[in-house]
Copies of this chain bind each other. A is one copy, B any other.
Amino acid sequence: MTLYRIGSHKISCFRTSASRIYPLLHVLELENQQQNRQYGGSKNQGGGYFNRVVMMRLFGTLGIGLLAHQVYTAKSGDKDSLDYQVFRGKSVWENLKEDHRIENLARNAPKKAQKSVPSEKREDLPTYTLEEVLQHTTMEKRIWVTYGQGVYDITDFIPQHPGGSEKISMAAGSSVEPFWMLYGVHKNPNVLAILEKYRIGNLSPAEAAEATANMEDPYARDPIRHPALKPSSKKPFNAEPPPTLLTESFVTPVDLFYVRNHLPVPEISENDYKLEIHFQGKDYSFSLDDLKTKFEQVTVTATVMCAGNRRGEMTEIKPVKGLNWGHAAIGNATWSGPRLSDILRYIGVKENDPSIQHIQFEGLDHDVSNVPYGASIPFNKAIDPKGDVVLAYEMNGEVLSKDHGFPIRAVVPGTVGARNVKWLGRIIVSDVESDSHWQQNDYKGFNPSVDWDTVDFSKSPAIQELPVISAICSPDSGSVVKLNSNSSLNMKGYAWSGGGRRIVRVDVTADSGKTWHSANITAQDSSKEPHHWGWSLWSIDLPIPQGVREVELWAKAVDSAYNTQPETFANIWNLRGVLGNAYHRIRVQVAS
């Protein structure tokens, strides 16, 4: 169902189905600190993302008002701000139906955030009961919603609502708060100010409390995390460990392994769990016990890395859209379970079936529209026993943790984290890629001159194998270091390459490349390329000329295909901030 065309890459979301609003919303997430400040987001770590997500989710439940507001801000505000970059394009505006109407609304929107009032009574407006509000759930009767003690008639949003009438009906006649809650509790003045424009009345304090009495934070059941994990977003939870901990062990401890969640962690009962597989019109179902007993169980050492690892460095060139990852959104673990290739063969999939091109994965995590997280991998990777794709129920020999996909996660060695689908609920044997937002319109690379006006996601392949990367984990950037007695500086780090390519060399320099030193590979598993899935840890005592007080350290790795890293981020910059594998460069002070 095509409701609106908002820019080329957003069309597909709408075209696919009306229930696919979530992917659109995800596209529209605006994430950078500048924008966070602009909207008055909280300053605690992760709060920026949180507030931004909340704002975006409003589109799905409350209509186009926020969009209108953002456009207004964009048109009147700082042209360098991220939100402006997202919305300024003609392709966005010229294709948006009824754009004039929206712009008119926008012009009436408040220019600045006002004091939050929806939770308070407005003396100039009548008071309604929840019973009365509940009568207003159709266009004919007008659509009412509540927030705090406020009652709102949002009927005028319905025609422009990107998700259609099905979507808006979720909140019709009741409080918007449970829907907003999915993306975290919020107190964003801008959002509330827009809502307040549609205020028609009050609820009594008692009824306001009743409206949200059963409201639960969808993240309330998220697991407790290790305090060392540093979140880039709390709801959904995304966090990485301090880089110095990464080189402490070849296998990253589960509790310190970076977490990348797109949605709340689903609650799954081991006994009720079923993996569904759809193949040639039939559905096959496997219990956890089936997966543990019907197939050979293997253990694979594989590194998993987020496509956005090191995005923070890329952002220094120019802002990008995405979580502000450091260089620890990567970890190495052992993963145990049956091979996907065995399971596929078990249900009759043939390796050379030309009608099969992709294996789609769906997680059991889902958005308000019940759209699950989804991704796909090429069939040849999935069906090849040497591709080592495992449906893992153990990580580092322990039962898979909630954050890492309990009870089953797809581990696709050598492939970007986004395809290693957690809480795996469904596999679809298909001739096409997953149509999920994350496969089609998110994790892809573009040249540095492609911006949000010109991007065409259909022109670029979904990231699968990742390129060669390395990082310095110790010393910390900006730290003061003490040299060894021989005037050398101990450096440690990791290096990895996708596609099963082994790291064959890590070079470091303290003089901007005048002199390169090859580091010692201190940990590497013995599997051979092109089936070498784990990272390599490295260390070197790098000679530092006496008297030097500040030094810039660079690291680059070379893999078994002799691919090496690009020198700088300038020429690999891309609007989504993925694939950030330039030389890692840090500056440290030398203690006298």
A interface residue numbers (CB < 8 A to B): 378, 380, 384, 386, 445, 447-450, 460-461, 463-468, 498-499, 501, 504-505, 507, 513, 515-518, 528-531, 556, 558, 560-568, 570-572, 579
Cβ-defined contact, B448 with A516, below 8 A: yes
Query: How many Å from the CB of A31 to the closest CB on chain B?
Result: 22
Residue of B nearest to A414 (CB): B561
Residues of B within 8 A of A501 (CB): 465, 499
Residues of B within 8 A of A564 (CB): 467, 566, 572
> Told that A464-B560, A465-B530, A513-B570 touch, could you supply 18 new A-B pairs with CB distance under 8 A?
A445-B558, A447-B507, A447-B516, A449-B515, A449-B516, A464-B561, A465-B501, A465-B560, A465-B561, A465-B562, A466-B562, A467-B563, A467-B564, A499-B501, A499-B530, A556-B571, A561-B563, A563-B563
Residues of B within 8 A of A507 (CB): 447
Cβ-defined contact, B567 with A505, below 8 A: no
Cβ-defined contact, B449 with A517, below 8 A: yes
How far is B507's CA from A386's CA once the two chains are assembled, in angstroms? 33
Partner of A513, one of B448, B515, B556: B448
How far is B448's CA from A517's CA once the two chains are assembled, in angstroms? 9
Cβ-defined contact, A504 with B467, below 8 A: no
Residues of B within 8 A of A466 (CB): 561-562
Residue of B nearest to A380 (CB): B528
Residues of B within 8 A of A518 (CB): 447, 450
Query: How many Å from the CB of A505 to the closest CB on chain B?
Result: 7
Cβ-defined contact, B504 with A561, below 8 A: no
Partner of A571, one of B464, B513, B517, B531: B513
Cβ-defined contact, B467 with A505, below 8 A: no
Partner of A563, one of B380, B468, B571: B468
Partner of A461, one of B465, B504, B566: B504
Residues of B within 8 A of A531 (CB): 380
How far is B528's CA from A378's CA once the two chains are assembled, in angstroms? 9
How far is B461's CA from A560's CA once the two chains are assembled, in angstroms? 8
Determine how many copies of this chain the complex contains: 2
Query: How many Å from the CB of A439 to the closest CB on chain B?
Result: 15
Residues of B within 8 A of A460 (CB): 504-505
Greatest chain B CB density within 10 A among A445, A449, A450, A579 is at: A449
Residues of B within 8 A of A565 (CB): 566
Query: How many Å from the CB of A529 to the closest CB on chain B?
Result: 8
Residues of B within 8 A of A464 (CB): 560-561
Residues of B within 8 A of A448 (CB): 513, 516
Partner of A568, one of B467, B556, B567: B567
Residues of B within 8 A of A529 (CB): 378
Greatest chain B CB density within 10 A among A501, A516, A571 is at: A571
Residues of B within 8 A of A516 (CB): 447-449, 571
Residues of B within 8 A of A384 (CB): 386
Residues of B within 8 A of A380 (CB): 386, 528, 530-531
Residues of B within 8 A of A467 (CB): 561-564
Residue of B nearest to A468 (CB): B563
How far is B463's CA from A566's CA once the two chains are assembled, in angstroms? 20
Query: How many Å from the CB of A417 to the closest CB on chain B?
Result: 14
Q: Which 10 A-B pairs have the closest CB atoms?
A: A465-B561, A467-B563, A447-B516, A563-B563, A449-B516, A567-B567, A447-B507, A467-B562, A499-B561, A562-B579
How far is B36's CA from A544's CA once the two chains are assembled, in angstroms? 38
How far is B299's CA from A326's CA once the two chains are assembled, in angstroms? 47
Residue of B nearest to A574 (CB): B562
Cβ-defined contact, A562 with B378, below 8 A: no
- With contacts A460-B504, A461-B504, A556-B571 taken as known, whether A562 is within 8 angstroms of B449 at the C-beta atoms is no
Residues of B within 8 A of A561 (CB): 464-467, 498-499, 563
How far is B514's CA from A447's CA once the two chains are assembled, in angstroms? 11
Query: How many Å from the CB of A435 to the closest CB on chain B?
Result: 20
Residues of B within 8 A of A572 (CB): 564
Residues of B within 8 A of A378 (CB): 528-529
Query: How many Å from the CB of A573 to the closest CB on chain B?
Result: 10
How far is B565's CA from A468's CA once the two chains are assembled, in angstroms? 11
Cβ-defined contact, A445 with B562, below 8 A: yes
Residues of B within 8 A of A568 (CB): 567
Greatest chain B CB density within 10 A among A384, A513, A570 is at: A513
